[in-house]
Amino acid sequence: MTKRGVADPAEFLRELFDAAVAAADPARCVPGNLPAPPAGRTIVIGAGKASAAMAAAVERAWPGELSGLVVTRYDHAVPCDRIEIVEAAHPVPDAAGLEAARRIRDLVSGLSHDDLVLCLISGGGSALLTLPAEGLTLVDKQTVNAALLKSGADIGEMNTVRKHLSAIKGGRLAAAAAPARVETLLISDVPGDDPAVIASGPTVPDPSSYANARAVLARYAITEPKAALDVLDSAADETPTALDHARARLIAAPMISLEAAAALAREAGVTPLILGDAIEGEAREVARVHAGIALCAKAYGHPLKAPCVLLSGGETTVTVRGQGRGGRNAEFLLALAVALDGAAGIHAIAGDTDGIDGTEDNAGALLAPDTLERAAVLGLDAVARLADNDGYSFFTALDDLVVTGPTLTNVNDFRGIYVD
């Protein structure tokens, strides 16, 4: 520690990120939230980037017999003895996810009042748990997913569409499990922590409608494939609005992780300010706002005096217009670098707590006051790279990526801006 702050801002910010991830570790948050065992069978199902780690935690803590199947992203499997782990594609679904979803629906069919379905849901589950509605193919679902990912739609909008093109989302999986008791443990990766939005809510009531889904596609001018629009137009069977046999419990969320990081900052003598856990919008626009707050803190001591750290979570979006590489966190940091323009004493980190920023191999990246200067030496134009959505290549060249590998949890994005 120096008199005015931390000795190594980059190391400090990385420690905050690691603390946020650790707070959402399934080994920490699953055991104390398990329901009472049933008189009958216990069937464990689930989907998401954290689902395999959640299943392993269940196996270690469960007092009786159990069996089941969960589906997670490729390279996110954790060895389990009694619960089968299947890997599938994310963010665009594949045949492995389709087959896993069919098997999961079959597992919960034909159960009794005495049985328990323990459902483990985390971010990424919507793409992984793919079972197209009647009249749709996997290719149709892939096409819609890819269009939504490029459109700039937020996660709530995307999942509204996904639920109404699915035979398993939007509470339909819980309906298939009736009359068995359904208990869902949720690790939230969505702004607002709405259980109906997390992984498209396969086991919770759904307040959205086919009309809402149609409006999303119209808003972003998505007109293909025709089969998907036909399903939404037919509105054959609305998702269930009530599921009396099903309950859901939030066990990890963005605010819990932000608070863990804030506590660590205080221990280091740095004053934290949590700007919000549900910040949405275009990554580059969110970056401009964060830059303005950081510059005000540096110049005037408002909204707090240095040394301080601004923390935020949520899920930004990127409307892809260029040909570059990079997820929303790299885009945020590149836009932040441009907005700060080398301001002294301001460092930042942004990363996805699941360890994967978009489809790349990094969680995020680090930013320092000399980032633009070092980039110029390498012939990198930050403004041009931002226009090309090329944050990954920019920070790769500077050797400033944050690479963790899959963290086996997911509570959305983490951003920290340290002002000295």
CATH 3.40.1480.10 residue ranges of the chain are 9-22+255-419
CB neighbour list of residue 148: distance below 8 Å, 6 or more residues apart: 157, 158, 161, 220, 222
338: helix, strand or coil = helix
Shortest CA distance to 335 belongs to which of 372, 379, 382?
382
Q: What share of the chain is helix, strand, coil (3-state, %, to 5)?
A: 40, 20, 40
- Report the half-sphere exposure of 61 (CA within 13 A, side-chain side): 18
CATH 3.40.50.10180 residue ranges of the chain are 26-252
Evaluate whether 313 touches 279 at the Cβ level (below 8 Å). yes
Q: Residue 78: which H helix or E strand, with range?
A: none
Shortest CA distance to 229 belongs to which of 355, 299, 295, 133?
133
- The per-residue pLDDT for 12 is 98
CATH number for domain 9-22+255-419, candidates 3.60.40.10, 3.40.30.10, 3.40.1480.10, 3.30.70.2860:
3.40.1480.10
Q: Splitting the chain (420 residues) into consecutive groups of 10 residues, what average pLDDT does each group show?
A: 74 98 98 97 97 98 96 96 97 93 97 98 93 93 90 89 94 97 96 91 96 96 94 92 97 98 98 96 97 98 97 93 93 98 98 92 97 98 97 98 96 97
- The per-residue pLDDT for 1 is 36
CATH T-level topology, domain 26-252: Rossmann fold (3.40.50)
- The per-residue pLDDT for 3 is 41
